[in-house]
Every structure is written in C-alpha cells, then in structure tokens.
Amino acid sequence: MKYDVMVVGSGIAGMESSIKLGDMGYKVLLVEKEASVGGRMILLSKVFPTLDCASCISGPKMSSTINHPNVHTMTYAEVEQIRRGEDGRFTAAVKQKSTFVDWAACTGCSDCQMACTVAVPDQFNADLVPRHAAYIPFPQAVPKKAVIERAGTSPCIASCPAGIKAHGYVSLIRSGKYEEAFQLVLEATPLVGTLGRACYAPCESECTRSLLEGTIPIRRLKRFVADLHYGDGRGPGVDVAEANGFKVAIVGTGPAGLTAAWQLARAGYQVTMFDSAAKAGGFLRHAIPQYRLPHDVVDQDVANVTAIGVEIRTNHAVHDLEALKAEGYDAVLVATGTPRSMALGVPGQDATGVHTGLKFLRRVSEDDLPSIAGKRVVVVGGGNVAMDAARTARRLGSADVRVAYRRGREEMPAHSVEVDEAEMEGVAFEFLVAPVEVLSDASGAVTGLRCQRMRLGEADASGRRRPEPVPGSDFVLECEVVVSAVGMEPDDEPYEKVTGDARGHRIKVDPLTLQSDVDYIFAAGDVETGASDITHAVGHGRRAAYMIDAWLHGRELAGFPLFDDPLGVVDHESVLARQQSYTHRAPVRPGTQHSANPVGFDELEPAMTEAEALAGSGSCLDCGVCSECQECVRACPADAIKLDMHDHQVEVEVGAVVVSTGYKLFAADLKPEYGYGQYPNVITGMQMDRLLAPTRPFNTILRPGDGKVPDRIAYISCTGSRDKQVGNPLCSKLCCMYSIKQNQLIMGSLPLADVTMHYMDMRAAGKRYDEFYEQAKDMGATYIKGRVSKVTELENGDLRLRYEDIENGGDIVEAEYDLVVLAVGIQPNRDVERLFTGEKLRLDEYYYVAEPSEELEPGQTTIPGVFVAGTAAGAKDIVDSILHAGAAVAQVAAHLTQSEISEVVPV
C-alpha cells in the first residue's frame, strides 16, 4: 500500500494533520493504537477558556477524520518500525491488532460488553471504574465498534489437552452463571462429571496463581457445576443440528469415543457406538476405582450422549471394521483404547493369584473378584494403574499392599497425587526393585515374588535413567496376590489387517488428521497414542470428530484450528507484572480425609460448597484477559464475535511521516507525600475531568473512597511539573488552566462546594486565559500561593494538607478537605523512540521529539521527511496543538512538493 503521508497517533494534532493533508489532496494513512480515534481530548469534560464541550468539538473532528475520502484510518494498530529508503520514501510495518470482532458486522450495540464476565480497569475512565474485556472504548468512539481484549490464551486453557476453556468456566462460576459454566465444558465433551473428578488437571499446574499462594481449584470447580446440573435431573440441554444423512460407527465407548460421538451427533450425524463390555464407559468405568470416579457419574456423562440420539450397543465386540462399512456406515472411528495388559514376563506369571492390573480393576468394578481379604498383595509397576490397583487392594481388606517399582520415586509415571494418596492409605513402596520369578506352592497358588535390587544407570531413550540389576541382590517378597501393572497396549485384532499397525500394536493413522490409509477409518485416543489420560483422549475425540466431519463434507483435512492454530499462550511473568502487589488469598483445598485403613469405595473427595466455588473462582487472575467464556458470542445479535482472529502485519510505503504520539501523564504516585495510590480520596486532574464529563463513570462528582459528594475540594498544582526531584523541570503549560476550568465546572455542578487551589505560580498566558482565571475567583474559588508539603489522611477519609501560605506571612498552615485533586503535569511519550530503524529520531534534552529549528521551521525533526505535531514535541494545550499540527502539515506539503515523492498532485 502506498500513501503520501503516514500520521502516527490520532489525538487532536494527528486528526488535524490528517484532515488538512487530506483536504490538500494527499493520501494519508492514520495509525491509531486504540480502537477509536480521538486521543485524550474526547475524554475531557470541557475545554478552556471557552468551556465548550470537548466532545462537541472533538466528535465532528473524529467523524471527519474517519470519513475523509483521502484519509485511511487504521485503528487498533501499531507502527512497529519505519525505515527511510535511499529515495527518501519510507517503508513502515504496521501491526493490525486483532479486535476479535468482525467490525463489518458489529453494530456497536454493547450487548457483548454487557454479557462479558471479565472486568478490568477502564483506561478511558482513568481507572475509576471497571470495563469489561469485551468493550467499546467510550460512548462517542469513532468507529463505534467492540473489541475483545485478549492478551493471549490463558495458560489453563493452553495446557488442557482436551481444549476445555477452563478460564471461561471459572469466570462464569464467579459470575454466578453455573449452568453456563457446565454448558461451556459440555461444548467440548459430555464427560463433565468425570473430568471434574478423575482429570489430573494440567490446568492447575499451569495456573499463574500457583506462583502466588496456590492454584485455583479448576478441576473441582468443574465438578461443582456438574454436580449442580446433574442434581437437577436435567438432560444435557443442548441443540442438535438437523440430521445430515451420514452414519458413523464408533468402536469403543471410552472418553475418546464418547467425545467424538457427542461432537458428531450434535453436528447432525447418526452415530452408533459399539463396546464389548456390558456397560459403556471403557476405562472410566472399568479401570478407575469408584472412590475416585463413581459409576453413577459415568452413567450421567454417558447419558448426555444417548440423550442426543447416539445409540450404544454394548456386549457387541467388533472384529471386522470393513463389515461396518458394508452395513452402511460412512465412517468408522476406532477408539478401543489399550485394553491389553502386558505380562510380567517372568517365570511363574501364570500362577493362581497373579492378576494383570486392568483385569484386577475390572473384576473389582464388576464385583467379580474372589476375596483377597487378609492376603498380602504385591503390585508391580509405577503408573496410575498400579496406584489404583494398590489402593483398591487396600480397600478389599488385604493384610498388606506393597508396590514394587524398578526405578525410584522421582521416575514414577504415576501422578504424584496418586502416589501420595496411596502412601496415606497404607500402601508401602519398594523402589529399585524388579520381579524375577513368581513363587507358588504345590497347588499353583502364589506364595511370593522373587525380586532383585536395581540401580539407575545412564538415561534411556525416554530420558529416564535405565534400571540395571544389582548382581546377587535377589530377595523374596512374600505374598499371596501379585498384580502386574507394567504396561498396556491396544488390541489390534480389529484393524491389524485393515489399516496396519504402528509401534506397539497401535493403529496406523496420520497423527494430524487421525485418518488411516483406509480413508473411511479414523482412530482416536489411546489406541493411537498409547496409554495416556482422559484429557488427551477427549482432545483426540474432538480432533477425530472434526476430521470425520471435514472428510465426509469434502473439505481438506488440514489442521484442527482449536489445537493447531491457537492464540499464543500468555506467560506468567507478564500476568503478574500487571500488579505491583497481590493480596493473599487462602487456596481452596478439597479437605479429603485419607485413612491408613481405607474401607469401601465411597467417593473420597468431598463436593465443593458454593462458598468454596465462589472463593476459588474469585481468585482467578484472568491471565488472558478474555476468558473465552463465549458469553459475548451468545449475546451478539450480529454474530460478529470471532475469537479465532489473529494479528497481521501490513507493509506500507509513504513519502512523509507525521509523529503525533502525544504525551503521557505524570504518574502521581511518584510524589508519595501527596498520597496518591495510598489515600483513595486523592485523585488526578484527569480523573476529575472524567468525573466532570457528561459520560462520567460515577453518577456525579463523588469521592472514590466512599461515594460521598465532596464539599471541600483542594487542588495541588505542579504535581510532577517544574519539579527537579522527579526529573521534570519543565512547566506543563496546561495544568493551571485545566485546574481553573475544573474549579469552575465543580462550582457549577456542586454550588455549595468550596474549591481551593494551592499553586506555585498562576500561568494564564493566552487569549482570554487570565480573564478565565479572574472569572473563577469571582465565582468563589480560592487560590493560595504556596507549596503543599504533605497530605495526610484522617480517620473518616478526609485529607489534611500542610502548606506554606506565602501571601499571608508565609506561615505553615494545615487545612482539611474532602477530596484532593493533583494537577498532574505531562511528560514525553518515549514510545516514539522505537518507531524508527536505521536512523535515530533525535529527542531533546527532555525526551520530547527534537525540532532543530523550532522557531523557524516548527514541526521539522532531525530526519528529513519526518515531522512532529502536537505534544509529542513538547507541552501544549489544545489550541497550540492544533496550530502546531498546521505547521507540521505545511512542512509536509513543502517536503512532498520539493522532493516530488508524492503519489498525487495536490489540489
């Protein structure tokens, strides 16, 4: 894209420059980092000395800017770099930030921001009130379009292999939207109750709050909403698309299969699931003990699937995938998991009393295991199945349960919580021990397990140190029961001859598309990945459903955007850097009671109370800002919310650049003696301007400390100006006048209020400025010459000022006020320093953009073709900013004419 001029910043100077250059016939690109043009002026109450409404003046200017035929405006965009070429023209990289809203469709109705569940300080109201992550900058915004503020994907969401929007349901719960939270999880998977209990919660490991006092209880919050939903006896309550005529067979009813069935059935597919077991659920029912995951919870989750029309055929093993195709299924999904336990591989492994871990757990789940009460049990293995088997054995009355594992505790693949809880329940551990032989008596019954000691050698391919036997270290663990939990693998009987096997008898499919070489056969879950966990299986089920849908509708099987094209994850440090301090919040812990002699299979972990749910969810730090709760998506009548948008970069070529990046306000907390940030009733001049504006954040002028209408209001001038202590010796030029303006407006709004200004010098040099000052005095404002040395807060929130009263003898005086306004000065916006590459835009000794010939060539900078307009070059009021913009425009025109690098002939 080529333009004659690029203007950076759309405050009053930027808008004025753009309009005037556009009027002259130049093609202008105006780049603004916020979502609306207008800069700070549009946020002011009125302007001095005329007391004209700021928005009445600025509004039309904003409209003219955005609608000017020669001005192209990029809002919510940032100039990343500008480089001058040998021909004198400039190339610039401009980042168009994602608004996550289709502005062509957005009507500016505000429904999204009303529905949003994330609150952040409103920078357009000087942080006095919340705005939401979905927001329209301010009522007079031009363009008046919504933006969703997203810093990235929240770590809890990014870490979830199931793609569940944890941040979203947490923010819904704290907003009291429990059913909406349940539905948000249900969007991903029908297994809400299951995941609320049996998930290992990688989200909690990544929770930024864990770097403070502890993670928020994300998993248990999910259980909380599941318990509420199921407690009401409701069905899933979701919409199902009209039948699309396609039939899909899913073999296996574990988490991958159920999730895929859920997604496909909702999309209009006729889905039939097959399982060789008598009840659906796969490992959820047969491998996870009920003290962790009760069967009625699995039943409730499975019922979600059948409620939307999925047929589940149990006691129905599938041996022939091709036969399913012949029966009329358009696609077949293999989701059979890893049902085969690996054998111990030692002599005696077939003795009576030796079980594989999966069969042991399954028989217990089906109440089919002969009693092991009083028997000694050795569980071989270090994974989660081993832990489940050991803890189950404890509940069955065994005399003693030992886990024998060939590596050390640190190398155990089981989740650390499982290991800890097994220990609490009286399970003993034998580390660095490997089985050598199962010993048995004459009847063939187990009498012991001969083992040998191991030591750790070099790391193997998995990165874990390889266990090596210690010669001569054999010993016997006496026992009557041995449970082998040394590994699991798929049963490849249905697919081996159709799709072929990958490593470890897994089905051979493309890992991205999950499609096999037989195009109608897809796979998901452990049968493709090997033994993993529920969340990975759920994620796989979602991917498989997406791919089957794409394939059956003739779409390209490219990536799954949910997992393959996400917004980058927010890093913890940047989240924590948003605040200087954090209040301690006690983590919400489950309070599970573990017995060293556990009895029965009742669910161990207690349900969460509503108070705990609110306390837990209320601790969320909103890492990504937007929580992806989808409330805006539901609320938007124009279907304009597009959370999958990405930033993009635009390269432009221009003949000249106008820098109109404005100023920054002095950070008032750098004058601690005035109490800003410590005392709530000390505010800045900008905050008072917002309180005075028609679009004010409060219902009137109130003090922020308690909402009281203030009677006695003090101003302290030169806060951060003419002050070498804070490194700014310059006068900000406009603080005296904006204070006087506010004095008058306050007296208009609060006729009974006393307004006093403590000043060093009154600088009212401008047309009608001094008259304006006199007018304020005539209205009743008091002006006291002398520096305020200290502000102290009183018990009731009032403020005591200690100051020197120069014109009345120079005494040190104290006075009390309801509200103190700091007339903060302005400072250079040093963001401008990073704009240019190749050559440096020189700044003056105060870090404003330098104008080498300020008196004769105002607006010119040290880079030919780069001009400065407004307060980027130094403190100016609005009038002077407009004048300065006019000068910059003239310089631009002269430059383009002289250098003949304009793309157009000026009119």
Partner 1 sequence: MTTSLREPREIVREEPLMQRPILEALADGPLTVPAIAERIGHPAREVVFWVMGMRRFGHVVELPEADDDGYFLYEAFDKGDAS
Name the site residues for partner 1 (rule: CB under 8 A): 113-114, 117-121, 127-130, 132, 171, 174-176, 578-583, 614, 617-618, 620-622, 677-680, 697-700, 702, 704-711, 793-795, 797
Compare residues 100 and 138 and give the one whose CB is closer to partner 1: 138
Question: In whole angstroms, how close is the CB of 686 to partner 1 at the nearest point?
Answer: 14
Question: In whole angstroms, how close is the CB of 587 to partner 1 at the nearest point?
Answer: 16
Three-state DSSP string of 617-645: HCCCCCCCECCCCCHHHHHCCCCCECCCC
Compare residues 579 and 853 and give the one whose CB is closer to partner 1: 579
Query: What is the C-alpha separation between 638 and 109, in angstroms, rounded?
Result: 9
Q: Residue 900, class by beta-carbon neighbours within 10 Å (0-12 exposed, 13-18 middle, 19+ buried)?
A: exposed
Compare residues 610 and 854 and give the one whose CB is closer to partner 1: 610
- What residues contact residue 851 under an 8 Å CB cut-off, 6+ apart? 844, 857, 858, 859, 860, 861, 868, 873
Query: What is the C-alpha separation between 403 and 393, in angstroms, rounded?
Result: 11
Question: In whole angstroms, how close is the CB of 572 to partner 1 at the nearest point?
Answer: 16
Question: In whole angstroms, how close is the CB of 902 to partner 1 at the nearest point?
Answer: 47
Per-residue CA distances from 344 to 70, 253, 377 (Å): 79, 28, 15
Question: In whole angstroms, how close is the CB of 700 to partner 1 at the nearest point?
Answer: 8
68 closest CA partner among 106, 20, 113, 107: 20
CB 892 within 8 A of CB 22: no
Query: What is the C-alpha separation between 711 and 779, in angstroms, rounded?
Result: 16
Question: In whole angstroms, how close is the CB of 184 to partner 1 at the nearest point?
Answer: 15
Question: In whole angstroms, how close is the CB of 105 to partner 1 at the nearest point?
Answer: 23
Compare residues 466 and 708 and give the one whose CB is closer to partner 1: 708
Question: In whole angstroms, how close is the CB of 570 to partner 1 at the nearest point?
Answer: 15
- What residues contact residue 222 under an 8 Å CB cut-off, 6+ apart? 164, 166, 169, 181, 185, 192, 195, 196, 199
Compare residues 176 and 370 and give the one whose CB is closer to partner 1: 176
Q: Residue 51, class by beta-carbon neighbours within 10 Å (0-12 exposed, 13-18 middle, 19+ buried)?
A: middle
Compare residues 353 and 624 and give the one whose CB is closer to partner 1: 624
Question: In whole angstroms, how close is the CB of 130 to partner 1 at the nearest point?
Answer: 4
Compare residues 67 and 123 and give the one whose CB is closer to partner 1: 123
734 closest CA partner among 635, 665, 667, 638: 665
Question: In whole angstroms, how close is the CB of 80 to partner 1 at the nearest point?
Answer: 27
Per-residue CA distances from 895 to 23, 89, 133, 655, 861 (Å): 17, 11, 43, 9, 12
What amino acid occupies position 54? A
Helix (H) or strand (E) holding 771: helix 769-779
CB 681 within 8 A of CB 705: yes
Question: In whole angstroms, how close is the CB of 183 to partner 1 at the nearest point?
Answer: 17
Compare residues 215 and 384 and give the one whose CB is closer to partner 1: 215
Compare residues 111 and 526 and give the one whose CB is closer to partner 1: 111
Question: In whole angstroms, how close is the CB of 583 to partner 1 at the nearest point?
Answer: 5
Question: In whole angstroms, how close is the CB of 794 to partner 1 at the nearest point?
Answer: 7
CB 224 within 8 A of CB 441: no
Question: In whole angstroms, how close is the CB of 616 to partner 1 at the nearest point?
Answer: 11
What the block records as the tokens of 533 is: 């966990």
Question: In whole angstroms, how close is the CB of 796 to partner 1 at the nearest point?
Answer: 9
Question: In whole angstroms, how close is the CB of 834 to partner 1 at the nearest point?
Answer: 25
Q: Residue 517, class by beta-carbon neighbours within 10 Å (0-12 exposed, 13-18 middle, 19+ buried)?
A: exposed
Q: Residue 688, class by beta-carbon neighbours within 10 Å (0-12 exposed, 13-18 middle, 19+ buried)?
A: buried
3-class SS of residue 132: strand
Helix (H) or strand (E) holding 832: none
Per-residue CA distances from 135 to 119, 187, 224, 508, 789 (Å): 10, 25, 30, 48, 40
Per-residue CA distances from 180 to 153, 158, 610, 631 (Å): 20, 21, 15, 9
Compare residues 326 and 752 and give the one whose CB is closer to partner 1: 752
Query: What is the C-alpha separation between 652 and 92, in angstroms, rounded?
Result: 5
Compare residues 357 and 710 and give the one whose CB is closer to partner 1: 710
CB 640 within 8 A of CB 101: yes
Alpha-carbon Rg of the chain, whole angstroms?
35
Distance of CA 854 to the CA centre of its chain: 46
Query: What is the C-alpha separation between 388 and 355, in angstroms, rounded?
Result: 14
Compare residues 636 and 869 and give the one whose CB is closer to partner 1: 636
DSSP state of 670: G
